[in-house]
Amino acid sequence: MWPAEYSDLDFDLPEDLIARHPAEPADSARLMVIRRSDQSITHSHFSQLGEYLTAGDNIFYNATRVEERRTYLQKPGSDKQFECVFLKKVAPVALGAPLSGELITGAHTGEIWQVLMRNIRRLKDAAKLLAAKDQSYEFILSRNSGQIFLSTRRQLSAEDFARIGEMPLPPYLRRSATAKDSETYQNFFARQLNAAEKILGSVAAPTAALHFTGELYSRLAAQGVKFHPLCLDIGYGTFAPLTEQNFQTGKLHAEHFFIPPETAAAFQLKEPQRKLVLGTTALRAILTYARTGVSEGETEIFIRGNEVIGEIDGLITNFHLPRSSLLLLVSAFAGCKFLGRAYREAVERKYRFYSYGDAMLIL
């Protein structure tokens, strides 16, 4: 479903404008700067971001870490593989009903994970599956309320996923992950948070951060720009299309977030310095905190394109998919018609779109 009032954000994107690989170096990506005050659009490069910032500006960034959660599983004795993306760990009590064929009993110390899997109609509940890369990793398949779960006696860590999986590149890249993607698709700010235990891990990158380099970060810090970490672990919503229910309930997919006390204090300061947010995932967390006062938990916040976001002064983001919740979120800050004009100009000027694509600064 896509409401008529958001028609300015419905666009056709030529296939050749989808960036399949990142810019090299990362900050050589193009940067479109759009100003809400005078509806102007200018063109630059991400390496020149400092030209649009001043000493005292605050940037709030997502410090989540992308884990290599795309795995391939197979039945014992079979060569047929099933692609699987591990979304999030769940507690048995949260399921509301027992899983059929569940490997874990109350006495076990294993885990249950919600996953995405394709072409598994012929797999029955309680089917045993092994990781193709390391068959010592055993899982039991279950279904519950239309969702798919895998249980295991292990307690899976980022190191385990690195052993059995690969970087979960978005499907629209239409290619398999390479060893290089383990670096280029990883968040530049990964785990740059004192309370690192609050980071549960993500199945997609906070892509605005992919444009940063160590040199650019150092220049901005020397310029007097202040950086403040938070965490939003990116999950199923990255893959889920918008539904009519999203608009009716005003809720989106739930994602875990954490705002450290120091970051919350910096956000609350009533100073003349500007507050900018790096990426839509960080913006979801900041808006949840600003509107509820809650600094940790799960957020289901859903911002429509005609809402007003007055809590921040600027947003750094990528170019998003048509008819997506992220595009609506950005349009609520920039304005639907203005953002629609900016996107049409981006297509005309052949900006690169999506995760590995170019960036936009909204002031």
User: Domain spans of the chain?
Assistant: 4-66+181-362, 70-166
Percentage of residues in the chain with pLDDT exceeding 70?
A: 93
Q: State yes or no: pLDDT of 312 exceeds 60.
A: yes
Model pLDDT, residue 107: 40
Model pLDDT, residue 7: 77
Mean local confidence (pLDDT), 117-130:
93
Model pLDDT, residue 286: 98
Q: How far is CA 108 from the centre of its chain?
A: 32
Q: Label residue 201 left, alpha or beta by phi (over 0 means left) and psi (-120 to 50 means alpha).
A: left
What is the assigned CATH class of domain 4-66+181-362? alpha beta
**Residue 245, token pair as written in the block:** 């229910």
Model pLDDT, residue 307: 87
Mean pLDDT is lowest, of 16-25, 104-113, 297-306, for: 104-113
SS3 letters for the chain? CCCHHHHHHCCCCCHHHECCCCCCCHHHCEEEEEECCCCEEEEEEHHHHHHHCCCCCEEEEECCCECCCEEEEECCCCCCEEEEEEEEEECHHHHCCCCCCCCCCCCCCCEEEEEEECCCCCCCCCCEEEECCCCCCEEEEEEECCEEEEEECCCCCHHHHHHHEECCCCHHHCCCCCCCHHHHCCCCCCCCCCCHHHCCCECCCCHHHHHCCHHHHHHHHHHCCEEEEEEECCCHHHCCCCCHHHHHHCEEEEEEEECCHHHHHHHHCCCCCCEEEECHHHHHHHHHHHHHCCCEEEEEECCCCCCCCCCCCEEEEECCCCCCHHHHHHHHHHCHHHHHHHHHHHHHCCCCECCCCCEEEEC
| Paired residues of 165 in beta bridges | 71
| Paired residues of 86 in beta bridges | 115
User: Between 353 and 246, whose confidence is greater?
Assistant: 353
Band of residue 105 on the pLDDT scale cut at 50, 70, 90: very low
Model pLDDT, residue 106: 44
Q: State yes or no: pLDDT of 356 exceeds 80.
A: yes
pTM of the model as a whole: 0.93
Model pLDDT, residue 239: 61
What rounded mean pLDDT belongs to the chain? 91
Model pLDDT, residue 93: 52
Q: Could you read off the pLDDT of 147-197 as tens digits, one per residue?
A: 999 999 999 999 999 999 999 999 899 999 999 999 999 999 999 998 888
- Contact between 167 and 182 under an 8 Å Cβ cutoff? The reply is yes
Q: Label residue 340 left, alpha or beta by phi (over 0 means left) and psi (-120 to 50 means alpha).
A: alpha
Mean local confidence (pLDDT), 304-318:
93
Q: Could you read off the pLDDT of 247-269 as tens digits, one per residue?
A: 778 888 889 999 999 999 999 99
Mean local confidence (pLDDT), 20-45:
98
